[in-house]
Structure 1
Amino acid sequence: MSRTNDPRPPLPEWILDAYDYLCAHSLHSDENGAIESINREQALEALRGSDDLSLEPEDATHALTRLLERGYFYEVDGELRVTMPEEEP
């Protein structure tokens, strides 16, 4: 989905880069491919360990917090799941 059409509140580019990184490299789906999720600690480790992002530990935590606050992810039992924005008709 294009960021210009995304109904979710905007975030700084570096946080959106962290979101894109997690979506591209770290998420896994259930057996039906329906739910993309990642364990919260694994998400933080992935962000901290990424050479592409070069985030300090506090920056990774802040990015993940903002992604949750703005609805890019939601959390269920320690698993972060991608919130899929509604498609416009």
Structure 2
Amino acid sequence: MTDLTDPRPPLPEWITDVYEILSTHSSNATAGQGGKSIPREHALEALRDSEQVDLEVGDATHALSRLIDRGYLYEVNDELRITEPEN
């Protein structure tokens, strides 16, 4: 996921794998908000059930925090919104 045109700071591969999983499991946000979103609890469940990564709950929570801190996700009322770089 290292893309030199992506303005967001790079992250370790296992955390970018988490981002990809969440992007796959997210749905379109409610009307008028655009983008993709996933409830936090659903995100943790998707990560726990994923065969792509083997994470404990603490690791999944840490990955979500890092993704939020770096601008890959943002949280509104326990819902995670997926950000995508501008092309």
Which range, TM-score by smaller chain? 0.7 to 0.9
Paired amino acid for 1:34: G
Q: C-alpha root-mean-square deviation of aligned residues, in Å? A: 2.1
Checking the alignment, whether the CA contact within 8 Å between 2:35 and 2:83 is kept in structure 1 is: no
Structure 2 spans left out of the alignment, 5+ residues: none
Distance 2:4 2:73 in 1: 18
The number of residue pairs the alignment matches comes to 86
Distance 1:54 1:4 in 2: 28
Paired-residue identity, %: 55
Distance 2:61 2:52 in 1: 16
Structure 1 spans left out of the alignment, 5+ residues: none
Distance 1:47 1:7 in 2: 25
Distance 1:47 1:69 in 2: 19
Runs of 4+ in 1 over 3 A off after TM superposition: 30-33
Paired amino acid for 2:16: L
